[in-house]
Amino acid sequence: ARSEAIKRGIRVTVCKTSNAMAETPVCDTTASWQQGWLVFVDGGTKGVIDSGDTLLRVQGSLSAAVTITTSNFSSFVSYLPSGKSQGPNELANGALRVCVASTRHDIIISPTGRIRIDTDTNTC
Q: What is the pLDDT of residue 89?
A: 79
Mean pLDDT score, 3-7: 98
- Could you give phi then psi for residue 33, rounded to 5 degrees? -60, -30
Q: Is the pLDDT of residue 20 over 80?
A: yes
State the Cα–Cα distance between residues 10 and 32, nearest whole angstrom. 26
**Domains, the chain, with CATH or none:** 2-120 (3.55.40.10)
Pick from 112, 80, 74: nearest CA to 95: 74
The tens digit of pLDDT for each residue in 101-123 reads 888 999 999 989 999 999 876 67
pTM here is 0.91
